[in-house]
Amino acid sequence: MLADKQRIRVPFLDAVPASPSPAVKQLDRLALTYWTRSAAQDNVDALVKMGDYYFSGLGTEDGVPQRERAAGCYQSASTTRFSAMSMWNLGYMHETGQGVPQVRSSLSRLVLLVPLERLAPLVRPS
């Protein structure tokens, strides 16, 4: 947890984008390595954290977010251990189309395809 950059950061300082120093980049790579090792030992929270690091680009070689790898981590955590956080993150990625194909929610498709009169019994119980 000490190497976790997301825990020790001050929120208002995040508004100013600063290029991380080589020491900070090394610390991010080390933290991602530790999260990866922990995920290999069947720790689902570490797998979600790995996805967070890939999603934001922390600990990657070039610092560029790797959304596809993040989606893979979230997918693995949601299918093997039924992690609610990974399901939510994966749903967000599908909704915004980041790293995965954008999919509209079934409710929005229902609203677009079905006339309002047919939806009234679903909204108001008889």
Q: Look up residue 111 and give its two tokens.
A: 């609203």
Report long-range pairs for 52-60 (Cβ below 8 Å, ≥24 apart): 52/6, 52/89, 53/28, 55/89, 55/93, 55/98, 55/99, 56/6, 58/5, 58/6, 58/28, 58/31, 58/32, 59/28, 59/29, 59/30, 59/31, 59/32, 59/33, 60/32
Say yes or no to pLDDT of 98 above 60: yes
Nearest to 73 by CA among 58, 92, 86: 86
| pTM value surpassing 0.85 | no
Q: What is the pLDDT of residues 45-54, one digit of tens each?
A: 999 999 999 9
Under CATH, to which class is 5-123 assigned? mainly alpha
